[in-house]
Amino acid sequence: GAGVSQSPRYKVAKRGQDVALRCDPISGHVSLFWYQQALGQGPEFLTYFQNEAQLDKSGLPSDRFFAERPEGSVSTLKIQRTQQEDSAVYLCASSMATGGVYEQYFGPGTRLTVT
Amino acid sequence: QKEVEQNSGPLSVPEGAIASLNCTYSDRGSQSFFWYRQYSGKSPELIMSIYSNGDKEDGRFTAQLNKASQYVSLLIRDSQPSDSATYLCAVLNSNYQLIWGAGTKLIIKP
């Protein structure tokens, strides 16, 4: 079956532009996670959905970051008025998260560069 | 103190030897533990999960968990150059949050 897919794979934005990053999780996975990864660091948690409900958004760095998953499948991470410090790889992961199974599976990521 | 700590490396191991990667965590209520491999420019790939004390083997990989000492390790037997990557430890803490270490860079020398 298909894994987690993300689009676009690469995005260059001028400072101040809005961007939207898409994640399509593994079919049947109820949990979806967004992470930000800087070079040489582990993934940093941004937000988490269980189905369509956003249960934790404590990792979103500012109110310029917004995520949604309106139908409990595809999710979009939106960054408004991008800044240079937003440049990073944005990773999406999905998980069954039921029956004690919490393994997360990652998409290929979107590399965002803000110029 | 970070919740999950790993030595950043690089850890250099000769081809064919055993590579030993370690991870410590601070939340004693943590319940699930994962090792991911990340090649440069790629996303993390799950290689092992372990939930109970002791060893879990999968091919050339063995995960070891010691909850009393709050550490989890990954052993790679018969190391191959293709094992060269960054290995990330992730711990599901008592709040069901997955906390990540910064990763250990492993280099297998032919």
Length of chain B, in residues: 110
B24 pLDDT above the threshold of 80: yes
B39 pLDDT above the threshold of 90: yes
Residue B18 CA to residue B106 CA, distance in Å, equals 12
Q: What's the pLDDT tens digit per position in B41-96? A: 999 999 999 999 999 999 999 999 999 999 999 999 999 999 999 999 999 988 87
What pairing do the DSSP bridges indicate for beta strands B85-92 and B104-109?
Answer: antiparallel
Minimum-distance CB partner of B43 among A40, A42, A91? A91
For residue B85, what is the nearest residue in chain A, using CA coordinates? A40
pLDDT at A101: 63
DSSP E strands, A2-97: 5-7, 10-13, 19-24, 31-37, 44-50, 53-56, 65-68, 75-79, 88-95
> What count of CB pairs under 8 Å joins A to B?
44
Contact list, A41 vs chain B (CB under 8 Å)? 102-103
A71-96 as b/e: b if 16+ CB within 10 A? eebebebebeebeeebbbbbbbbbbb
The residues of chain A scoring below 70 in pLDDT are 1, 98-101
Contact B42 A108 (CB under 8 A): yes
